[in-house]
Amino acid sequence: MPRALLQAMATLFGKAAKVGIFSREAPGEAVLRQFSAPSTMNSAAAQWLEFLDDVRTVGVPRSRMIGGRRCSALLLQPSELTSEHLILACELDQADPIEHAEMIACLARIYGSQIKLLDYSELDTLTGLLNRKTFDETFERLLNASCAPPPDDIIEDLRKSQDEKAPAWLCVIDIDHFKRVNDSFGHLFGDEVLLRMGEHMRKTFRGGDRLFRFGGEEFVVVLNAPSEALAASSFDRFRTSLEKHEFPQIGQVTCSIGFTGVSSMDVSTDVVGRADEALYYAKEHGRNQVCCYERLVTDGAIVRRNTAEMRFAEDIDALFG
C-alpha cells in the first residue's frame, strides 16, 4: 500500500516529485522507508526528524521550511495489523503550496479508506484479531518471511520483531468450558469473554507474534522461538496470566493449549491438525495446561500422524463418499 501511494503521487505530480514515507514506532525514531527522490530525501532525512515528531494527528498536514524548501508531512491512517505509524512527507510546489497540500491530503484520505477496508477483511470483528481467512491466505508467507523480502506490508512487523532464524511454532488455544459460560450467563457475557481474550492475547504476546481467532472459542498463535522449551514457556505464560484474570460476573476462565513446531515443508492443515491433537490431549487430561505434539509423541502418549496417508484417505472419501 505505501508503495502504491508513492506511485500515485508520482503519477499526479510527475516523476520528479520529492516524496518520502517515514516509519515511526516511537517518538524520535522515524526512519525513511520509501522515497521517490533519493538524493533529496536522503540528504534532508536527518533534518526532518524533529519536524516529524510534531506530526501526530491522522490526516492533518503540517508544513515547515527545511533547508530552504517548504515541506509538508501528515500521519497516514494506521493499520490495526501493526504498531507501526507511517508518515507521508514531501516538498511542496512553491508556486501553489496550498493546492499542492490539499491534493496530497486527498490522496492520503483515499489511502486511509483502503487501509480500513483491508483491515475489515482481515480482522475478526469481535476481537480485532486476525481472522481464519487471513490465516489460510498468508500461512506460507508467514513461515517464509525470513527467507525472502516480504511481498506486502502484512508481514513486515513479523520480520522486525522476531528472530528471523528461530523456528516457527503454532498453538491452538481453546477456552475451557466455554459452552457453560454461554449457557449460564448468556451469549452477551460469552462475547465479553471472547473480547477480553483477544485483549489479553495482545497484551501477553509480542508485537510481532501473529494472533488469530479461528471461530467460536478457538484461537491460534504463530510465533518464533529458538527451542520447544521457550515456545512452551511463552504459551504457558499466557495460560497462567489468563487463569489469574478476573472476568466480570463470571470470575475465573481457563484455557487449554496444544502446540507444534512448523517446518517449511508443512501445509496449514497439517500444522493445525497436529496442534489440535495436542490440544485434545490437554483437554482430556485435566484442561488448563499446555501440551506439545512432538513431546507427546516422544513420550508415547500419542501416535505420530502420517499426514500424507491421511490426506490421501480424505481425498478418496471426498471423491467416492
Greatest alpha-carbon span in the chain: 77
CB 277 within 8 A of CB 254: no
CB 282 within 8 A of CB 290: yes
For residues 39, 40, 45, 48, the Cα torsion angle rounded to the nearest 10 degrees is 180
Round to whole Å and give the CA distance between 302 and 244: 30
Percent helix, percent strand, percent coil in the chain, to nearest 5: 50, 20, 30
Q: What phi, psi does 25 have (nearest 5°)?
A: -110, -15
Tell me whether strands 218-224 and 168-175 are parallel, antiparallel or unpaired.
antiparallel
Residue for grid cell 517515514: 22
Which run of H or of E encompasses 94? none
Report the catalytic residues.
217
**Residue among 172, 258, 188 nearest 220 (CA):** 172
265 C-beta neighbours (distance < 10 Å), count = 7
